[in-house]
């Protein structure tokens, strides 16, 4: 996100996390220079997440410091060693993995000690979201101990499906394009309604 007024509306629903894209090829690119106006409307209770794709560890850490980010979310081909470098800096680390029928869940073992959370997204040709859901039943093959966020094309109409999805390591739901009016601009009413309904399930 990058519009202060839009962000202000979204954070009124008190999401646990709010994401900023630091991938220049993305339509949602927030820019590398921190925006004081944007940062000023995000309360301390909302964790700020920086989304990166194959950025150098040095740049990730610098951006996290400049933007006062709480979380680095990695969507590229970052190695376990790369992840350890970020995590050892004190930043909470999310590592995204693109899931399809051929995904090998055993590859996650080498990441289990260097990531705080995994994020399971839909596999596409390019990094980042596809706006499409994957077959959530594939996550029955995930037996690890690292909690995960469910991502990939989740929209307002998926509330019932999200409520019905059960997994012992499910930590949260990642929403994005399904709630957008245009890239990086959220439909505040839809976001607020979805968050409120999800919290009723707790």
The CATH number assigned to the domain holding 121 equals: 3.20.20.70
Q: pLDDT confidence of 83, banded at 50, 70, 90?
A: very high
Predicted local confidence at residue 137, as pLDDT: 97
Residue 124: pLDDT over 90: no
Q: What CA–CA distance (Å, rounded) separates 75 from 55?
A: 10
Phi-psi region of 136 (alpha: psi -120 to 50; beta: other; left: phi over 0): alpha
Residues contacting 128, CB < 8 A, separation 6+: 21, 23, 26, 53, 75
| Tally of structural domains, the chain | 1
Predicted local confidence at residue 125, as pLDDT: 59
Residue 128: pLDDT over 70: no
Q: What CA–CA distance (Å, rounded) separates 171 from 117?
A: 8
Residues contacting 90, CB < 8 A, separation 6+: none
Q: What CA–CA distance (Å, rounded) separates 121 from 124?
A: 9
Residue 155 structure tokens: 């929209």
Q: What CA–CA distance (Å, rounded) separates 202 from 198?
A: 7
Going by C-alpha positions, the residue among 80, 128, 86, 73 that lies closest to residue 107 is 80
- The predicted model scores a pTM of 0.94
CB 190 within 8 A of CB 179: yes
Q: What CA–CA distance (Å, rounded) separates 80 from 18?
A: 25
The whole domain housing 28 covers 4-199
CA atoms 173, 174, 179, 185: torsion sign: positive
Q: pLDDT confidence of 129, banded at 50, 70, 90?
A: low
Residue 63: pLDDT over 90: yes
């Amino acid at each position: 996100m990058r519009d202060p007024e839009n962000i202000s509306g979204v954070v009124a629903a008190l999401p646990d996390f709010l994401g900023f894209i630091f991938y220049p090829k993305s339509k949602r690119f927030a820019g590398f220079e921190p925006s004081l106006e944007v940062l000023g409307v995000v309360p301390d209770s909302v964790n700020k997440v920086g989304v990166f794709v194959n950025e150098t560890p040095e740049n990730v850490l610098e951006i996290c410091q400049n933007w006062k980010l709480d979380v680095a979310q990695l969507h590229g081909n970052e190695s376990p060693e790369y992840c350890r470098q970020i995590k050892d800096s004190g930043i909470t680390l999310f590592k995204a993995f693109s899931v399809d029928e051929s995904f090998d869940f055993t590859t996650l073992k080498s990441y289990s000690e260097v990531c705080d959370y995994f994020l399971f997204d839909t596999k596409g040709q390019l990094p980042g979201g596809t706006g499409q859901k994957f077959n959530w039943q594939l996550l029955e093959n995930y037996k690890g101990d690292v909690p995960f966020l469910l991502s990939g094309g989740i929209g307002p109409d998926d509330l019932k499906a999200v409520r019905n999805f059960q997994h012992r390591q499910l930590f949260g739901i990642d929403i994005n394009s399904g709630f957008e009016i245009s890239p990086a601009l959220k439909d505040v009413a839809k976001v607020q309604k979805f968050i409120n309904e999800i919290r009723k399930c707790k």
